[in-house]
Structure formats: structure tokens, C-alpha cells
Structure 1
């Protein structure tokens, strides 16, 4: 039974009724509470818990999905959703749900443990072991550590991480064969080796009941030499080697006279082919740009010898400035030190999985200096967040070089001379003015470790200084978007996002408002119009809209006709864009509410009728949980059919498209268009006519 987060007298009364086994009265009060905006989410949770207890899995699933939309910060809902799916023997979907939910709530230990167990059922042993080992230094809860170690073969193991805030190294070693003894840690730095007992109590090992000892904390002087941490047998600890670089001093004041030379900073870790393609595209662009630049490649202790050799060859030929880190610094620490190298130069971040074209830097420079208060400029890309093309905030395939060249040329032709203002910048290709760096400071390497989210954090700090971020729709930079992170990305992304939400509580709303207004849209549309004679594989998949798709002349595949009122739910397939259709559904909802055991009506799209329909307590607004399709979501909700109440459907009737997308048979009043679409005759044994207004 969930503990209510909103402690009202009503929920106390409901708890007492349930304890007294007066379920009818308790459910009546819960249905009333569902119609209240303040208590609706909590009431749905209570109803779902009762449904699970009674093994009414379809109903529980439906109510939990609705509760999740109202209480998005409640990770326990996903554990209950998984239970509802398992009650229906949908074990694979339950596992899929938990794995995706972990990305949304990475700091919840119970959900994390359940997600790892789900991964153990789905992943290969090799993949599971690899990902657990990468994640071990980030574990923060004893229950989670115990779950992870149980999924690995028994062996001595340890993990270490750098506490950037305090400047020391912490970690633990667990030896399952001698859990009561303090294991030995071997520390090697600058060719000097030291053996130390890991004899400190560690909260993870102790809290998990694994060992009273095994923890260590090292206070070492900062320096360039990597620190190797191993077990006595030479096995490296997860996270080793580490490096404690000298603390970065604050950014100095911006000099009055800035160098015309720009630093193009390219961080590199993996991906020889993509990295070399990126670097050669920048090298080749020298002939097309009047803006002078140097290419600074940050080789961050790459595990690929062929890549390192190729970079060294480019450096020896004078094409790049190669900076090789003795141990992995991570994106943020590496970029900070690269940006500090020349405090009189503007900088450009460039991911190693991008390609540039023509006079790209001249155009970036022009945009960045089009006004005095500009902090950064982001170009168009197939994978560029707010500057993504053809649709914003989506990843699209990286164009081939010839298509990329045409896209860049057409972007210049389509440009009207305007630079739209962006809510935040995107770091795949980012021009940053030195004046903005001096005012805003470097990236946060204390709280944001590794990479991801650092561009958003810096963007929001720059905005707080009164600076602007621009988009440059006359530049197209191709971006693969898959080489910068390995399997650990999902946890780092989610944890950094959680930190940013706490740090900037209004930022997400601002970002969504920006997406809705989409100031880059006119630029995309002009480019899209120029693309029509060309076939570059970048047409917008959103055209035509679903609502403009005519009813299909082919019947929707369906099996035996279900009895509409026998299922748990029916899908509202109408768009409710006319008062007449809205009134019919409202009347039907109220009629069904008077018949106990009637199916819920499921609404999957926003509509002005939503509030009135939900007030009937018979209509559920349903969103698919993370990782699941709407079709799977409706199946687990016991949805048997899609229903239209339109007696005279138009040519752009949406209902058949909706039914087909969800894999449901369509029922509708008899009409020539309904028959043409393969809809089955609607025959509900209740009055469907709306009450007089």
C-alpha cells in the first residue's frame, strides 16, 4: 500500500475503510478524489494498489500510467507498473520498462536494483559484466552495490573515484573469500609503489552487510602523473588509473586586444575512422576560411593504439597541436585546460564525430560578432538539439559527405540574414567568445564529472550574465552523435540532468517553451523548400500530419470481434475537434460511470475536452511509459478496441489511422466511410445520444 504524500483527512479515512475491509466505500471516495487536481495522482495510486492486490492487472496498469503522468517524480510507480505487467506474464516488457525508467530516475536505489536484475535477464553475460564494471565507481547505495556484486562471478574486486570537491581519492575493495579482513591496496605513481591496508569502514560495504572494512581514502598532491590503484595480484581497481591535475585558476579578465587566431578544440577518445574524417574536414577547410585557427586535439588516454598513432602522425606533419593526457581527464577537465591555454583567443568546441564544410568558421565568426552581447553560436546539424534539422530536439541520420556539402550550400542559400536566439547552446560544434568565457567562467568540473550537460550548465550561467546564444542556420555541420559516450552514458546523462534540474528549477519549462515557439522553424522550412528538388534523405517525416491522412481503403486487420464492454478499456479514436463529437464522448463517459464494471475510456492526446471528460471518473488520460510503445501500453491496459462516435466521418478521418497505429480493431457508427475503412458497426447497449445542452 503506498504511503500518501498528500496527507489529507480523506486519505486517512480511505485507509481506515480499507483496513476495515469496506472496499466499496473506499473506492467510492477514491473515485471522487481522482476528479480533484490536488489529490488525483495519489488517488490513482491507491486505486492501483487495490487492483494489484486483487490481481486486476489491466486496471492497475491503466491507473498507474495515468498516475505517472500526474506524479512524474515518483519512481515507485515504475516498480508497480512492472508488477502489473508481470501479473500478465509480460515479463520482457516489464524488464524493458525498468531499464528505461532507470534512465529517468538514476538516483533511486530500489529502481536501480530492479533495473539491473532486469538487465541480467536481457543482456549477454559479457555486456552485463562490462556495464556493471563501468558503473561500479558511481554506485551510491548499499542495496544497489549488493545487487550488482551478486550479478558478477565471485572474485576480489574494487572501485575508486576522484572526489573533485575535496581533492582526494576514495574507494573500496571487497574480497568475498575473506570479508572480515582488511585487503591490501597497491598505489603506484611516478614509478613509486606503496602498499596500504584498505582498513577503513566503507558505508557501501557495511550498509550492504558485505564487510566491516575494505574502504580507503587517499590524499595525494596534485600533479600530471597518473595514479595506478591495484589489488595485490595486480588487478586494477575499476576507475584506475586516475589523475589529480593542478586546480584550475579562475579565468583572468578578458584582454583588451584579442588574437585573431581561434582555437578549434577536438576532444578524442575512441573512433579512429570518424575522428580522422572530422580532423581532415577541418584541415581541408583552411583553404576556404580567412579566419586563422589552430586545431588542438585532446587525446584523452585513448585505448585505441591505431588512433593514437594516426594523431601523432598528423601532429608531426604540422596539421594539429596534439595534447596527450597521461590518464583520462574526461571531457570537462580536458576542455577547461584547453580553453585556458590561450586566454586571448576565441574557442570552438568540435566533437570528434562531426564533419565541417567550406568557410564554416568564417560564418560562425560572423554570427558570433553580429552583436556585442553574444556568448555562443551553434550551427544547424542532423543531430544538434535545438538546431537539429529537419526536426528540433531529434537525432537524424548523419548525411554522407556529398549530401552534407549540398545541405551546407543550400543552408546558405536559404538564409535570410537573421540569427535566431536559442534557449541553450549545444556543444557538438560551439563557437564561444572569449569575452563570454571571462564573464561566465570555465565549465563546472567539480559537480559535473565526465561529460554531458556541461554545455547546458554553461549556457544558463552565461544567460544569467545577460548574454545570448545564437543559432546559425546558414551553417550545416554533420554529426554522428554516437562516439562521444560509451555504455555508461545513460547514467551520467540522467544524473547530470537531475543535478541541472535542482540547480535551475525553471530551465526545463523555459526549454519546452522554446521548443514550442521554435524560432528556428522558419529557417528549417526555407531549407526544406530548397531540398524538394534534391533527394538527400532529409525530408521531414512529420508531413503530412496524421490528421490529414485519408481513411485507408484497406480494412484494418482484426481477429474475432470482441465484446466492447467486456474489456478494461476502450480507446477514444476521435480527435474531439468539434463540439458535437466532444459532447457525445462526454455523455458516453457519464453513462458508463453509472454502470459499475464498465470499461474506462482512454484518451491519448490533449484536447479541450480533457478536463470535463476526466471529471466523469471514467476517462483516463494515458501516456506510454518509457521504453514502451502505445500499442503495448494499451494491450497491458486491457484495451480491446478503438472507438469513433463520428456518424459522418470526413475525408481526413483520423480514427482508422489511430486504430491501425495502436493495433486495435475500429468500431464506429455505420456509414459509407466507416465501411470503406473496415470499421465494425458500433452497437453499445446504452444510449449514445448527448443530453440536451
Structure 2
């Protein structure tokens, strides 16, 4: 790369390009070479730049400038929606990078509606400290939204005991605007007439716009707004002194009482359902406890009245905040009121059942080092069921009761987890006394506070457990909402700085997934219970079992197979209310699979996507004594002879005739010259016409070493002869390292924020190429062509089938014209 830079600086372009091509072949220099290739291609060939930058970002994922460049590629490709999706995900991990944020704003200005853009700009204004970014967002706010004109930010400087910030009128930048301070029933008007360094650096105003006012005494909050209406961002300001935790009390014992803390703000029906479920379950729990409801200045009079009625009947202990303190401040003060007691955080949108407190407490005291316990739930990060970290709809009360009753019988041991989840969290008082309370200074606006507490506890030797024998239903939000996304991103950045190894520990934990055996045990109990309920019901509808590789749409019953390294397993999926049943079977558990399949109300089997299917799949029709059919699509070429060789067909089988192919010697179709000439099959439409330049995806399974060597020779010739072609290869394919080293082959972009089809489309891929001489069962190239809606080119011709359609072109490598 040093040679490249010397030639580049000397403007010796040919020599620089040659040095860059050589650097691509060296793994050590390849990422940097890809960056420079992308920079070179971006002005005129953004699709090529997309390939180069996406390959570079896989090697250098923390380079925020690469994420920004990828976003620019997508904008240049007229894909603002994809750009926003990609950049927003990258921004979540790097929320303070000004360059990345600016490209994201440009993308959002093209993809979001004016209302969405205005809401996002206003929500993020308090976090913007870059003059360039502030200039950009204010210009966007003035030009692309219907904002009234006045905009500003205020913050509290506790050390100086001042209210500081800025405010301007976008429709009249020449004059200072008037702001109002409201506190303790008083209203004070003031002019934003001071110079502000941020506004000056942003080129907006050098003479006015700044706000500075002394903090009023003896007030809990100050609202700062415009004289024309509306609040400044960051208002109201909570001016209470920093909270000092009380000294711990001695004498807490395992048999002591517990306080269930329920913070309440909004949601009348959900809140009352939660509280009533906790009241109803009280008689099932032996643990002495009280229900402490913290009403955080709710805007709902009906909710406030209902809570007072429950408190008047001694059903709950009601705490009413004089002003809205937010979750962290409310919970800190509530935990301080529960001195000497364990506490349970319980969200107001949850529902509990049975002796849930007794079971959580039993896990909490199973080990002296346990700090917190989190139950199973339909929506609760690591302890989500049936899939970890995947939210599911909230079950009905009856469905929840059934789930919790089955969980109560779950024999699985408690599982140590990385962090607890605040929707329902049992916390031991000893842990609170040593670890302390929630951070209400840097994390004051919420989100991530329980993660911070759990990581702080872990650093002091405490453990966090998951309780597979308790199931708490949790509604949760339908979506985060942009304000929560902002807080999550900024607070996660704080947590990454505080706990540098926590993210890698969490990712390792998720890969190991030690909670899975407990989930599987509960799933098996659910399947058994469901079968017992419906066994013998003549009216219950019988369904087909769809068998495939997991890439087809979900059906009422399906069986899929999976390969990951040396691990092989199959998954039985059943759509059963309230939550799907999904059971995994290792090879040694196949007898259990057959037993479960025989118990299901099946009326037949449907075979789809049979490539790389395990051998036992072919025996299922005979073992289950069921009829079957083979779904033959363009993505599932399978010869009748192959089926007959590998399956014992039942007498009632529905046979499907499939197209046959001429068998040609694959060697005669390869490498007769230096140029690629792709020849269109005669019956294909003209829209599939291709040329000898462009980007092509290698569609072959390169575990066939003979085919892999042929691709290697093609790539080497393409590099040697400087052909204007690029080949893409899936990164996990065998021989990928050797092919990437040729300089003509690049890893297929695999940005997780984009689908495979979107990654391929943004790369400008024109077709799938295959060197296989004849179609075999589950021909991979055909599957890719179907999934990605691309033409397939192969070195042979296929006889016309009954419909006169062909799923692919033919191609060969010939002498240049």
C-alpha cells in the first residue's frame, strides 16, 4: 500500500492502479485496498463501490467512515430507504460520530415524511454538539418540514446552578426570540439575546440566540417554552437535588417480606389488569409481600381515581409523585422506601399468575451470589419465549395461566444469564446494599438502567439468573419509537465505555444460548399438553407437514433441517396459540421425532427444497405411512430417478415429471480463451440478454473441488487479462479464500440490515453462473436464481419441457471476437 500511495501522490495513475490490484491479493492489505477501490469507483460506479466498501466493512466493522460511505453508495443508487435502514443501524452503535450522523440526516431527508423528519430532528437536538450537523438539521427543518419557526434547547448545569441553552426563530433569524420560564405558578419572560458559541460556529447567529438564567430556588421543575407556544427541547427541567441513597439496614433474612414495585404513568386498562393479576395471585404466595404502586403524575384522571380506590381498600400501597420523575428516579425512591426488603420490579403492562413470587424467591436464594432473577416471558430480551430476544404477542389471561402452569412443572435448573430484564426483576436487598441504586445522573432519561445495574453487580461478583419455572406475560411496546431508539443508542454508548468487554460477553452468550434446553423442555411440555387436548377430536383439521431447508414460508406444520459447522439438527414447527411450538432434534433424538410426528394430526407430507437433506428425510413416508407429494419449482430441480433411488414411494404417491437435461462433459464448456461470451438460450426473452462485462454471482456449491478449481482458473484468467468482470461468492463457501486472492472475486455483500436480494441488487449482479454440467438434485444455482429473481447461465442446454419454459441460459468461455 505504501507503493500505491507514492504513485497516487505523484499522480502516476497506471502504476497506482497496478499496485492497488496487487494489494487486493494480500490479506493484510486487502481491506485498505478495497477502501481505495471503492473511493475510486464511487463517483461513476456506485454499485461497484458498494461491493468494495461492504467487503471492507466486514473486515473493519468499527470504521464509521466506511458505514457513511456505504450510505452514500445507497443514496447514489437512489435507494434512500435502504440507506436510512443501514445507516440507522450503524448509528445505533456509533451515536456520537458526527460524519455518520450527517449522512443519516441526508438519507432521512429523502426517505422520511416531513412529520417524521421534524420529530426526529427535534428529538435529537439536545444531543447535537457539532456545528456542521446543527447547520444541516436546521436547514432541513426550515426547508423540508412545516415547523412553525421557533426552535431551541435547554439543559441544566447543576454545578453553576444555571439554565443554559439556545433558541432561535427560523423564520426571522435576525431578531432574538422570547422565551418563558414557568415554575411554582410563576411565569417569567426573557429574551434569548446572548451570543451562543454553538450557533456562532454553525454560522447561524453570532449576536444572539443564547439562553442563561439562574436556577430558581425551592422548585421541583422549570418549564421553558416560547412566548408563541411550545416547549424547548429538554424542557421541563427537573431541578431536584441529586438523590442520596439511604444507609442500608441490617437484619434482612431469607424469610423477610418482599415489596413488589409497580411504576405507573399511562395505560388505564393495562395497568389495572397488571395490578389485579398481582392482587389475585396474592393468595397463592406464601412469601409475605405488599404491592407498592408508584403513580408518577399520570395524565389520566380515571387511572388516578382507580388507584386511590384500590389503596382505600388496602389492596395496594399507593405512592404519588408530586411531579413526573421518570422510571429511574421513581424506582430509586421506591427501593429506598423498601429498606431491609427484597424488591420486585414489575412493569405496569405485565400480568402475573399463581405463586410467581415464591418461585422467583426460590431461585434468588438458590445461591448466595444471586443478585437478580428474571422469569420466562413472551417479551423480555434473553428470557423471551419461544425464541430468545424475539418479542411475541401477549397471551390472553387463560393462555398465560396455561403457560405458567406448564412452566411451574419445568424441571430445568435456573440458568445464569448475562443481565436481567426490568419488565419483571427480583432483586435481593443484599445486592442493592452493595451495588447501589440506579444511575439517575448520566442515564437520567431512562433505558438501559437495569443493564447498567446488572453489569455493575457482575463486576462485584454477583450473578443474574433466569427462572424457567415462572412465566410472566408482558405486553411491551409495539415498536421502540424514535425517542426510545435515541436513548437506547446514547445510553448503550455509555455502557460500552463503562464495561468494554460486556458486548462481546453478551454476543458469546447468545451464540451458546444456554437457556435453550429450558425453552425446549417447556416446548415439549406444551406439545404434549396440546396433543392431549386434541387427541381423538374428529373435527380437528388435519394438515400437511411441509419438509424443507427452512427457506420456505411458515405453514401450520413444518420440518426443517439445519447445518452449522459440525452440528446437524432438524426443527419441528407447529403454529399453536398463543405462541408457536418449535422443537429441535439432534441426530440421536430421531426416534423422539418420529414419535412426535406420528402423534401430530397429519394428512400427508410435502417435500420442498431437498438439497443437502439428511438421509432419514427420504424414509419419512414409509416410517409414517403417509402419502406425499413433491413440489417442483424452478428452484427445486430433482430427477425422478434420484427420488426413486433414495425413497421408497408409497402406493398413493403423487408423482411429478421433471425436466431432464443433456449430459455434457463439463470440461468442454470451460476455458477456451480469455474472454467471457455469455450466449442467450433461444427460447428466453430478450430482457435476459447479457454481455461479457458486469458482475456475476457464482451459483455452484464449491464443496465440489473440481468445479472450484475451474472457477479458480476462470478468476485467474479474468485478472490476468484485465477483463471488465467481477465475480461474487458467498463468504462461507469452500475455496473462498483462494478465489478472493485472485482479485477478480469478491465476497457477496452480506450487510445484516439488508436482505440477501437487496445486497445482490445493490451490487449490480446481472445473473447467476454455474459450471455444473448437468442438473443434480437440489441444484444450488437454480435455488439462488429463483430466490433472487435472476437469470441463470450454465454450460449446457436443457430440453424443452411440457410448458416450453427454461429456468436458465447457457454460457461458455470462447475466443474473443
Same-fold call, TM cutoff 0.5: yes
1:544 to partner: Cα distance: 10
Q: Deviation string for 1:499-522 (max 9, x for gaps)? A: 222222222111111111111111
Are 2:247 and 1:252 equivalent residues in the alignment?
Answer: yes
1:590 to partner: Cα distance: 3.4
Asked whether the 8 Å contact 2:7–2:16 carries over to 1, the reply is yes
Question: 2-side partners of 1:79 and 1:15: how far apart?
Answer: 23
Give the structure 2 partner of residue 538 of structure 1.
Answer: 579
The 10-residue stretch of structure 1 (638-647 or 340-349) with the greater mean CA deviation from structure 2? 638-647
**C-alpha spacing 1:225/1:121, structure 2 compared with 1 (3 Å):** same
Give the structure 1 partner of residue 150 of structure 2.
Answer: 156
1:631 to partner: Cα distance: 1.0
**C-alpha spacing 1:178/1:59, structure 2 compared with 1 (3 Å):** closer
Asked whether the 8 Å contact 2:71–2:103 carries over to 1, the reply is no
Question: 2-side partners of 1:236 and 1:165: how far apart?
Answer: 24
**C-alpha spacing 1:263/1:221, structure 2 compared with 1 (3 Å):** farther
Give the structure 1 partner of residue 740 of structure 2.
Answer: 614
Asked whether the 8 Å contact 1:251–1:438 carries over to 2, the reply is no
Question: 1-side partners of 2:706 and 2:148: how far apart?
Answer: 67
Asked whether the 8 Å contact 1:556–1:678 carries over to 2, the reply is no
Give the structure 2 partner of residue 463 of structure 1.
Answer: 458
**C-alpha spacing 1:208/1:34, structure 2 compared with 1 (3 Å):** same
**C-alpha spacing 1:465/1:616, structure 2 compared with 1 (3 Å):** same
2:440 to 441, 445, 457: 445
Q: RMSD of the TM alignment (CA)?
A: 3.6
Are 2:48 and 1:59 equivalent residues in the alignment?
Answer: yes
Are 2:634 and 1:641 equivalent residues in the alignment?
Answer: no
Q: Does the residue aligned with 2:154 lie in a helix, a strand or coil?
A: strand
1:466 to partner: Cα distance: 0.9
Give the structure 2 partner of residue 423 of structure 1.
Answer: 418
Question: 1-side partners of 2:585 and 2:780: how far apart?
Answer: 12
Give 1:54-453 correspondences, 5 Å limit.
Answer: 55-150=44-139, 151-152=141-142, 153=147, 155-163=149-157, 169-176=163-170, 179=173, 182-212=176-206, 213-218=208-213, 220=215, 225-233=220-228, 235-250=230-245, 252-253=247-248, 255-258=250-253, 260-416=256-412, 418-453=413-448
**C-alpha spacing 1:475/1:590, structure 2 compared with 1 (3 Å):** farther
Q: Does the residue aligned with 2:406 lie in a helix, a strand or coil?
A: helix
Q: Does the residue aligned with 1:414 lie in a helix, a strand or coil?
A: coil
Asked whether the 8 Å contact 2:75–2:107 carries over to 1, the reply is no
Give the structure 2 partner of residue 520 of structure 1.
Answer: 515
**C-alpha spacing 1:114/1:434, structure 2 compared with 1 (3 Å):** same
Are 2:135 and 1:9 equivalent residues in the alignment?
Answer: no
Asked whether the 8 Å contact 1:96–1:118 carries over to 2, the reply is no
Question: 2-side partners of 1:440 and 1:527: how far apart?
Answer: 33
Asked whether the 8 Å contact 2:520–2:583 carries over to 1, the reply is no
Question: 1-side partners of 2:464 and 2:185: how far apart?
Answer: 47
Question: 1-side partners of 2:100 and 2:693: how far apart?
Answer: 31
Question: 1-side partners of 2:107 and 2:386: how far apart?
Answer: 36
Give the structure 1 partner of residue 38 of structure 2.
Answer: 48
1:465 to partner: Cα distance: 0.6
Question: 1-side partners of 2:773 and 2:487: how far apart?
Answer: 52
The 10-residue stretch of structure 1 (118-127 or 333-342) with the greater mean CA deviation from structure 2? 118-127
Give the structure 1 partner of residue 595 of structure 2.
Answer: none
1:11 to partner: Cα distance: 5.0
Are 2:493 and 1:498 equivalent residues in the alignment?
Answer: yes
1:117 to partner: Cα distance: 4.1
Give the structure 2 partner of residue 454 of structure 1.
Answer: 449
Larger Rg: 2
Question: 2-side partners of 1:314 and 1:669: how far apart?
Answer: 78
Q: Does the residue aligned with 2:166 lie in a helix, a strand or coil?
A: strand
The 10-residue stretch of structure 1 (561-570 or 421-430) with the greater mean CA deviation from structure 2? 561-570
Question: 2-side partners of 1:602 and 1:394: how far apart?
Answer: 32
Q: Does the residue aligned with 2:20 lie in a helix, a strand or coil?
A: helix
Q: Does the residue aligned with 1:683 lie in a helix, a strand or coil?
A: strand
Give the structure 2 partner of residue 550 of structure 1.
Answer: 610
Q: Please report the TM-score for the alignment, with normalisation by the length of structure 2.
A: 0.74
Question: 2-side partners of 1:575 and 1:254: how far apart?
Answer: 67
Give the structure 1 partner of residue 808 of structure 2.
Answer: 680
1:364 to partner: Cα distance: 0.9
**C-alpha spacing 1:88/1:233, structure 2 compared with 1 (3 Å):** closer
1:507 to 482, 502, 520: 502
Q: Deviation string for 1:125-173 (max 9, x for gaps)? A: 3343334333333333233333333314352232223457877543221
Q: Which has the higher contact order (CA 8 A, sep 6+)?
A: 1
Q: Does the residue aligned with 2:518 lie in a helix, a strand or coil?
A: helix
Question: 1-side partners of 2:383 and 2:258: how far apart?
Answer: 23
1:663 to partner: Cα distance: 3.2
Asked whether the 8 Å contact 2:135–2:202 carries over to 1, the reply is yes
Give the structure 2 partner of residue 39 of structure 1.
Answer: 29
Q: Does the residue aligned with 1:532 lie in a helix, a strand or coil?
A: helix
Q: Deviation string for 1:518-576 (max 9, x for gaps)? A: 1111111222223335322533679799x994255112599767467646433344554
Size of the aligned set, in residue pairs, is 674
Q: Deviation string for 1:98-138 (max 9, x for gaps)? A: 44444343223343344334334443433433343333333
Are 2:751 and 1:631 equivalent residues in the alignment?
Answer: no
**C-alpha spacing 1:215/1:594, structure 2 compared with 1 (3 Å):** same
**C-alpha spacing 1:253/1:158, structure 2 compared with 1 (3 Å):** same
Give the structure 1 partner of residue 672 of structure 2.
Answer: none
1:234 to partner: Cα distance: 5.3
**C-alpha spacing 1:261/1:592, structure 2 compared with 1 (3 Å):** farther
Q: Please report the TM-score for the alignment, with normalisation by the length of structure 1.
A: 0.86
Q: Does the residue aligned with 1:600 lie in a helix, a strand or coil?
A: strand
Question: 1-side partners of 2:103 and 2:787: how far apart?
Answer: 31
**C-alpha spacing 1:159/1:528, structure 2 compared with 1 (3 Å):** same
1:462 to partner: Cα distance: 0.9
Q: Does the residue aligned with 1:488 lie in a helix, a strand or coil?
A: helix
Question: 2-side partners of 1:313 and 1:636: how far apart?
Answer: 60
Q: Does the residue aligned with 1:140 lie in a helix, a strand or coil?
A: coil
